[in-house]
Structures are given as C-alpha cells and as structure tokens.
Amino acid sequence: MGVDVNNKSWIVYTFMVVVTWGVWGAFSAWPTTHYGYPDQWIYIIWSLTMLIPCYFALRGQRFDFSGKAIFYGCLIGFTGAGGQLLLFKTLAMGAPAYLVFPIISISPAITVIMSLALLKERVNKLGSIGVVLALLSIVTFSISSSDGQQANGLLWLVYSVLICVAWGVQAFFMKQAANQGVHDSSIFGYMTLTGIILAPVAWLMLADKGASYPLMATLSTAFIQLLNAVGALCLVMALSRGKATIIAPCTNALAPVLTAVLSLIIYQSMPGFWAFIGIVLAISGSTMMVYSEEKINAVKATAAL
C-alpha cells in the first residue's frame, strides 16, 4: 500500500513518538530514585502495559502463527525485552538517563554492520560517517566515566552498550521479518508475548519478594512505562501513514535529545566535557545512519517503479 501524501496524520503520530519516548526516558529512573522501586518490578509492569497498545495493534488483524512469524517474532521479542530488562537495571544503578539514552540511540550502527556483513548491503558516505561518530561516542563516554563519578564506574557503560547491541540486532531482524512478509501487528504481538514471558525471570531476580512499596510508586511506574508502550504503537501508526525517510530520523534522534534535555532540567545535573561530546556524537551519528539508510531505501523504491 502506498503512502497517501494528503494524509498528514503521520505528523501527529511522529510527534507523539518523540514526546512519549523522550518523556519516558527522562522519567524512567523516577520510581527507583524516589521510592526505591526495584528495576525488576519496573520490568514486570512494563511488560503488562504492552498489552494495551498490543490490543489496538491486533484489533481487526489476523495473528500470524506460521513458523516464520514465530521465529522472527520470538527473536525480535526476546532481544527487545532482554534489552528492556537490562535498561531498567542500568537506570536503577543510578546511571544518568542523559548519557544512557544517547548511547542506546546509536543502535542503528549495529543494524548497519549486520546488514553489511550478512546481507552484503552497501552504505554510503553519510552512513559511514554516522557509524564512525557512533563508535567515537562510546570512547568519549568511557573517558567521561574514568573519573569514577558515574554509577558503578564503567559497569553502566557496559550495560548501555549491551542494550544498544540487543536493540540493533532486534532492528536488523525486524527488517528481515518485513522482507519475509511478516505483518508488523503480529510482530508487535510477539514482542508483547515475549516481554511477559520474561516477567517471571524478573520476579525471580527480586532480592526481597515480600517488600511493600507506596501505591504512588506502582502508579507512577505504570504511567511512565505506558508512555514507552504507547510510543511504540505510535511509531507503527506513523510509519504506515508517512515517509520513513522523515519519520525514522526524527524518532531516533529527537527522542534522545528530549530525554537528555529533560533529564538535565529535572535532575539539575550537567554532564562533563567528554560526556557532552559523547551525547553530541551519539545523536549526530544515529541521525546520519538512519537518514542514510532510509535515503538508500527510497532510491531503491524509486528505481523499482
């Protein structure tokens, strides 16, 4: 189905992705820092909030139970959910969101590298520069952590890189699944299912299973994680109505920017010189990579007409 150029609703949905994911990123650590809410409970609540957008994604759609859909759905779901579980642990350690989310935003570098190696795809000059900037950002974040002021030394950086890798792999197989004709609503359904499957793992990781927390801790967690889930649904809706060449760069670059800005305002904490350079490099690199890839796809689509 082609994109309806007269349908401008994609603008609204893209804006909602940036806002929901940007605000979610800034407040992700709020329940832990203010109520001591464990990251395992945050993950469990997140997995349940996924059911809400999943209902809207699957409404009126046929769920794909083919072996191909199950394979890609589970692979995409577990890499995504595993990254989420590790993300909540990273934020619970006290790692600053204004550093964590820009690192995660360079996950397209992993996708590009896998596409080059496994699909023999080519990347243009802009994409190559984006990959280099993304890798350089990891170096600068490492330098910024060498002073020992960041949470748990370099451990938060290692976790952030692992999340970046997991979500980069996830994006690669999302692309593969689309190429194989698996509908995105079914993929989203498997993402929800795998997220819930890992909830018992999070439960087993709880240090104090009988601990009680204020009701506001649970309610604030549910609201914050619902922003994450709704943002994912809005992204699907935006891409079905608009051009990926515009939507993808906006969501991959602007959401981390909003997270960084809000985090600096809320927590009154300014990054050091190397951390600031890392933020700029990560966001610039992610924007270049995504824009480059989508530009190549647009050229291919035009040539096929």
CB 24 within 8 Å of CB 224? yes
Q: Report pLDDT for 53.
A: 93
Of 104 and 124, the structure prediction assigns the larger pLDDT to 104
d(CA 116, CA 124): 11
pTM of the predicted model as reported, rounded to 2 decimal places: 0.76
pLDDT above 90 (res 146): no
Of 70 and 242, the structure prediction assigns the larger pLDDT to 70
Average pLDDT of span 252-267: 77
CA angle 137, 138, 142 (to 5 degrees): 115
Burial state string for 249-260 with b = 16 or more CB within 10 A and e = fewer than 16: bbbbbbbbbbbb
Average pLDDT of span 225-250: 73
CA angle 113, 117, 118 (to 5 degrees): 115
Average pLDDT of span 40-53: 94
Over the stretch 52-78, which tens digit does the pLDDT of each residue have? Answer: 999 988 988 899 999 999 999 999 899
Q: pLDDT averaged over the chain?
A: 80
